[in-house]
Structure 1
């Protein structure tokens, strides 16, 4: 029996171990995400709370109320088939925290909004976050929260209702992918070794 080449074998073994570890990590993330989804589902049936002064992921999908102390600015975010979400960034006061409010949706990217602020109620979501996926890995700053308003101001269509299915939960599929990659790496390396050994044997036979 011929010996395996040391360096390539070590490299492949480390790669396979890393892929298996990533698969296990994704399964752990699956348990974590299912716990969060259960909490979010329960939040939909809890009584309203004041809009949180600080980011708190456990409050997502809970109904809340607040007061917008005059929008600092409006901006629009893509909303897929709905067009654009109109988001107001409200300044804070001594009694109210700064907050983002998703007022409603529009098809017109140039539409002007004259909402002056005031009381608002709805459900809690994450505010738009323009950090890249890589950026979020290296920046653990919590995502800001946003109140998705129940009633839009004049000129805007109502926001879509809260939708738990929009929360991604692909961890099981990712885990299976990593395990498949690990298995394929082992199979490909084994086939490469078999082919190498056959070539060596064929070469040795030709020298006789």
Structure 2
């Protein structure tokens, strides 16, 4: 091997090793994220238990629970849509538990035309899952309080608006009044496979460019 080829070869091999290492790290992250999703889905399907005395957003997210109480008073409406049906709203209301606590209840979906329909107070036993949804970010518009339209389920802000604890129970069984329960799904961003493919592709391209450059050096030295 000509001495002029040693440095480009080392540079090419080190660069490819770094890119392959980054791709391998993303594969590890992919397996970790898939494990999180599997555990969350298993928890969602567990047998329901009573609502904990002090629910924690980290340890109790997706916990399957059942609770008896009463819905009454104001509702908050979260703009959403269902594929094939068009726009509508999620109905969020205060839920006064039998033990005296007050939490948020996501009863589910109503079509747009049912937004102003009367929904009288009622006693309910609700089975569902605790959740602190990641619906709101920096680009989410502020609620239109005049029209009672929210653009994401902001648990803290909704709890303040309805005077409840910052805890949301998402019903997975219908609670009447034509509201269709939507339940919860395990929502974790999982782009690691795409990132891994990108890094491995860059490694292949890097090696290809290195080989082409070494070939040009060899041709000059023949």
Q: CA RMSD in A?
A: 4.1
Q: CA separation in 1, counterparts of 2:206 and 2:217?
A: 16
Q: Which has the higher contact order (CA 8 A, sep 6+)?
A: 2
Matched, 1:76 2:81: no
Aligned partner of residue 105 in structure 1, secondary structure: strand
Residues 103-160 of structure 1: CA deviation (Å, up to 9, x unaligned): 342222672144354533231253553234999xxxxx9995333263222xx34325
- Whose helix proportion is higher, 1 or 2? 1
Say which SS state the counterpart of residue 49 (structure 1) adopts.
Answer: coil
The structural deviation recorded for 1:193 is 0.9
Of 97, 122, 126, 2:102 maps to 97
- The 8 Å contact of residues 69 and 90 in structure 1, kept in 2 or not, is answered as yes
Query: Distance between the aligned counterparts of 1:182 and 1:74, measured in 2?
Result: 45
TM-score (norm 1): 0.65
8 Å Cα contact 1:71-1:88 kept in structure 2: no
Query: Alpha-carbon deviations, 1:81-116, whole Å to 9, x = none?
Result: 3542432242879921331x2234222267214435
Q: May I ask how many residue pairs the two structures share in their alignment? A: 189
> What's the CA shift for 1:195?
0.6
Q: 2:175 aligns with which of 127, 147, 151?
A: 151
Gaps (5+ residues) in structure 1? 136-140
- CA spacing shift, 1:10–1:63, aligned 2, 3 Å: same
TM-score, normalised to structure 2, is: 0.62
Give distance in 2, aligned partners of 1:108 and 1:17.
50
CA-CA distance at 1:27 after TM superposition: 0.9
Secondary structure of 2:112's aligned partner:
coil
